[in-house]
């Protein structure tokens, strides 16, 4: 049975959904909502790690994930997990890594459908020219996340 919890983060209320098989989705909510006071056991690890990430005490997540999508989307999301904390890549580079430079639009589409906000770091993918490109959570959140992960926190990236 799927369970869910809503936590408060610096970027807004965040909903975590999952079960004993892993976390299936983490989404930021644009509207304020009631924060959960009771966290189901299957969601505790993800909740604790996300809170540690936002306080600057975690750079790599290791709780069990179980995203739902097509085989291609899962390949893209798996590759996103290889982008190191504090680093970025472009859609073009990601397409090359996946073995098909012509699949850039499909890669961008899969990136945009990533169900695991922050944990599968789609925010680390930028335009080839270094620009911030579309982000389902809003470009201001993408900018915040990249600055949060910057090795020079006192310096603004964008």
Q: Which residues are catalytic?
A: 122
Mutual orientation of helices 71-80 and 104-112 as an angle, nearest 10°? Answer: 80
DSSP the chain: --EEEEEEETTEEEEEEEETTEEEEEEE-SS--PPPSS--HHHHHHHHHHHHHHTT--SS--S-B-----HHHHHHHHHHTTSPTT--EEHHHHHHHTT-GGGHHHHHHHHHT-SBTTTS-GGGEE-TTS-----TT-HHHHHHHHHHH-SSTTS---
């Amino acid at each position: 049975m799927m369970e869910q919890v809503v936590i408060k983060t610096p970027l807004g209320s965040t909903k975590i959904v999952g079960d004993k098989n892993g976390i299936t989705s983490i989404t930021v909510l644009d509207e304020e909502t009631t924060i959960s006071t009771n966290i189901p056991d299957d969601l505790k690890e993800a909740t604790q790690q996300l809170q540690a990430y936002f306080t600057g005490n975690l750079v790599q997540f290791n709780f069990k994930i179980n995203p739902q999508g097509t085989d291609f989307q899962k390949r893209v999301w798996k590759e996103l997990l290889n982008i190191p904390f504090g680093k970025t890549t472009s859609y073009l580079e990601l397409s090359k890594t996946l073995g098909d430079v012509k699949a850039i639009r499909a890669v961008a589409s899969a990136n945009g459908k990533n169900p695991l906000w922050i944990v599968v770091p789609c925010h680390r993918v930028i335009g080839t020219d270094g620009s911030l490109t579309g982000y389902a959570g809003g470009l201001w959140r993408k900018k915040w996340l990249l600055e949060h992960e910057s090795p020079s926190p006192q310096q603004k990236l964008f």
